[in-house]
Amino acid sequence: MGLSDELRAEIGPIWAKVVTHPFVTEMADGSLDRDIFDVYFDQDYLFLRDWAILLSLATAKAPDFDAARELVGFLHLGLGGEEGLFQEAFRERGLSQEDVKALRYLPTTQNYSGYLRTLAYEGTFTEVVATLLAMEWPYLDWAENAEQAGKKPGNRYYQTWIDIHTSPGMSGFVPWLRSVVDGSAPTAEQRKKLQTIFLDVLRYEYLFFDMAYRGETWPE
């Protein structure tokens, strides 16, 4: 068992809660309320900025050009695929550019984004890669589960969201991230930090789904 497998196994309960959250299970079977998805979608659009910062700084910290190419390639896929889908959905909903610019972070998104920015700037290359792995691997997991179960939600955006997260770009990037973590040979203290990152990220991923599914607002 590699280090990435160990890190995942040690947070098994919260991982299971993320990949079986009602948000993703209902999205996969098409029963998810579209208003709930739109809240998630808008917040994920804002979150994409911080995701891009994480990828960009991981690239800056990469030890060689091969690693940098992997990271830049995935950043390009995200900004070309997901960002394009966001813009299409906004137009369909009748949101103007001003409306999109006026979108604001909900509390969970703001906290999660701040956590990622701190890791992006202060973390080592391996820590930033572990952060990306903890973010992307659960998405690949639940999307592959939906695909293997033959789920075909009638909503085009729900299906596209599954397809994006089972695409060759995603299914190729996650194993590469795992190989970096597995080959990192951390000290006991460094391993503890990686485990903390995995736990923190999965907790935030759960809260992110919950934010949209159950509703969240700033106190007045």
Phi-psi region of 69 (alpha: psi -120 to 50; beta: other; left: phi over 0): alpha
Tokens of 11: 């947070």
Q: In sequence order, which residues have a C-beta less than 8 Å from that of residue 68 and are 6 or more positions away?
A: 59, 62
Predicted pLDDT at 87: 86
Q: For residue range 120-178, what is the model confidence (pLDDT) as tens digits?
A: 999 999 999 999 999 999 999 999 999 999 989 999 999 999 999 999 999 999 999 99
Give me the chain's average pLDDT, please: 95
pLDDT above 70 covers a percentage of the chain that reads: 100
> What gap in Å lies between CA 90 and CA 195, rounded to an integer?
37
SS3 154: coil
- pLDDT, mean of residues 19-44: 96
Of residues 88 and 24, more confidence is placed in 24
Tokens of 36: 């709930």
CB neighbour burial string for 25-49, b if at least 16 within 10 angstroms, e if fewer = bbbbeeebeeebbbbbbbbbbbbee
pTM of the model: 0.95
On whether the CB atoms of residues 41 and 86 are closer than 8 A, the answer is yes
Say which CATH topology domain 3-214 has.
Heme Oxygenase; Chain A (1.20.910)
